[in-house]
Amino acid sequence: MIAILKYNAGNSTSVENAVKRLGYQAMITDDIALLQSADKVILPGVGEAGSAMNYLKQKGLDELIKSLMQPVLGICLGMQLLCRFSEEGDTKTLGIFNNKVMKFPPKDLVPHTGWNNFISLKGKLFEGVQPQNNCYFVHSYYADISEETTAITDYILPFSAALQKDNFYATQFHPEKSAQTGFQILKNFLSL
């Protein structure tokens, strides 16, 4: 069973539907026992870092997430929460990735909304995906580039489009909204 973490962030139902279309059972939950026993855990995301972290802390999910041993995928806000700090609300986040999340420089082009490709790709999440393939992004904050970066996209400046460390994977883009490329990436994660 695939657990989709409920933490009052948007997009959970879209992720659930995408997982089910790939032939997997999925459940949206914040139940600690169900999350611990799930085959995979997904942190979807559309929302704001500070209120999302408050919800995770109130429910004891912040410590639970850090302790998970199965593959975990953070999507958009879910990826940003897996980093160490977000400028959005000056929020201390989970610290799984040693990346800082910052606001794009003030320009008329923020938020980054729409389709974009990659400068570079590596890792199991991107098997069968080419740098010229496009994925769907919608965000005003970005994670800097680090040794944990597995994909880079350039929008105003180069940033981490994906991260990976141990059993934790993350994408700034929305694979559930990224057509065939996104389904390949989700399929790769669900096959880990």
3-class DSSP state for residue 108?
coil
Average pLDDT over residues 65-84: 98
Summarised one tens digit per residue, pLDDT across range 103-148 is 999 878 899 999 999 999 999 999 999 999 999 999 999 999 999 9
Q: Pick the catalytic residue: 16, 88, 148, 176?
A: 176
Give the pLDDT band of residue 186 (cuts 50, 70, 90).
Answer: very high
Q: Pick the catalytic residue: 16, 76, 135, 148?
A: 76
Total of domains in the chain:
1
The span from the CA of 185 to the CA of 176, in Å, is: 9
Its domain, for residue 28, covers: 2-190
Whole-number Cα distances in Å, 38 to 1, 14, 167, 175, 178 = 5, 19, 14, 20, 25
Summarised one tens digit per residue, pLDDT across range 42-54 is 999 889 999 999 9
Is 112 marked active-site? no
CATH of the domain at 106: 3.40.50.880
Average pLDDT over residues 8-36: 95
**What is the DSSP secondary-structure string of 50-63?**
HHHHHHHHHTTHHH
Q: Pick the catalytic residue: 16, 88, 135, 174?
A: 174
Is 174 marked active-site? yes
**How high is the pLDDT of residue 56?**
97
Is 76 marked active-site? yes
